Amino acid sequence: MVTRTAVCGARCAGSASLMPAHPSKGKGDLAPGTIIGDRYRIESLLGKGGMGAVYLAFDPKLQRRVALKILGERHRDAPDAVERFIREARGLARCSHPNLVQVYEVFPDPREPWFVMEYHRARTLSQRVRKSGAFPPETAARILRHVCAALGEIHKHGLIHRDIKTANILLTEDRRVILMDFGLVKAPDELSLTLEGMILGTPEYMSPEQAQGKPLTPASDLYSLGIVLYELLTGKVPFTGSTALTVLRKQIQDPPPEIPADRKDIPVPLRAAVRRAMAKDPAERFQTTRAFAEALGAEALGGSASGATAAASAVSAPPTRGSTAPGRPLASLHAAPPPAPSAPARPVPSAPIPARSSRARRVLLATVLFLLGAAGLVAITRDDTLPRGLPPAALPRAQIERLLLKSPLPEAARRLRGACAAPADRPWLEGLYRRLSGPLPLRRTPEPLLLATREAHAALVARLLSDSPGSPWEEKARGHIGALRERLDRDGAAWPPEKLKTLREAAEALR
């Protein structure tokens, strides 16, 4: 249990990435001096991520500073959010590698989960790119080899990171490379924890199969790592757009752009490694981190001794313990010296990770289609064995999921009319509603069609939680229906006719 003198109510939306240090202090942030777990004394807020806040804290027992991550207050009533947060800590604890974050302690209390990590002063690669632009090829390749080593350890344990990006790679003050932020790490046998029209990950770094909701393999992480390499070599990501939808479409459909020809310092083999890593077909990519790391070796760099020297000066072995340099702290994470470039990560099997259950695949597919403005507007599959007509007064979770996933939104609304959730399933639906009615985890303004679809789904879920005509949940449902109708009238003329028709039918069915 978290014992403290201040309330943790950090508002965290987005994927699980830490933000730059010294963010503005918000309402509910833990005050300096707050004691956590009868042991750790809060010193300052380091950053905020997808579901929690990270604080710099002091451990008086061991006389050291640590990074302490606490689940945001607004997520604690959602069992799947709590499970994802605890899974992050346990996934990290299973892995041991000098280029990965070390977890000291995990406190999985579902009411207030938190965990303690190693702390080190560092900057992210994204900060370095924004400040200085593209990296020299030798430096970029060396950094990527260290990330490959860390990622190989994750894959060895049957895990997939799912959010590889420059913002999740640290360069410490003693020039070590650390892969961080495991809020989206997923084991192949775990069911998806998302259903509500939110996509977990970062569109600019997402593999085509992740954007389409297909089963992921280690090659999916390597695609994202290929984008990281492209960004380090050019100073920008390959696919951009005004909306997340635009970026995802490019990830799925567009061939990766070539590295500009005027970059004469980038050898042909290194360009080829970028192209292979970013192949649309997972089978055409590197299948292991070792293979990717080997493609970034001396041969890819033309065997340049001067290049090797430059890279070594950019990412080197750590100095003696206790030495410091000026810099801005970011949450997390001291690591032991990285391995030499000649010792790449141990290989992981090239065979695909076992497929998730069919229900889990449908859940993830529904999530992605919903983000693309299609979920709830078209049927994923039809299941004619489901009963027609009015459903019973209380429906089990499995049947609700089947209706939400297998039926167009208007049909689901009609068939769930008059139904309510079983008491045991209300916490799940309440968590789903909070995320449907809360902010989207996107950095851009979402498209009106997506917002209208979310209003419809939020109304449907609120209706399932309503147990009487005058209940607060019924009022919430009516509010979402009203908002849906306003969006239809204001923005509907710009939408595809079939989607406008479907949403109008859904609004009518929800009345």
Which of the residues are catalytic?
163
* CA neighbor of 76 nearest in space, from 108, 41, 104, 39: 108
What's the DSSP call for residue 468? S
Q: CA gyration radius for the chain?
A: 24
Residues contacting 48, CB < 8 A, separation 6+: 10, 11, 12, 18, 19, 23, 26, 54
Say if residues 440 and 243 touch (Cβ distance below 8 Å): no
**What proportions of the chain, in percent to the nearest 5, are helix, strand and coil?**
40, 10, 45
Contact indicator for 436, 461 with CB cutoff of 8 Å: yes
Q: Give just the sign of the alpha carbon dihedral 327, 332, 333, 338.
A: negative
Q: Please report, for residues 11, 51, 114, 339, the alpha-carbon distance to residue 35 in angstroms, rounded to integers and kept in the order given.
A: 20, 21, 13, 37
CB of 57 closer than 8 Å to CB of 67: yes
Contact 92, 26 (CB under 8 A): no
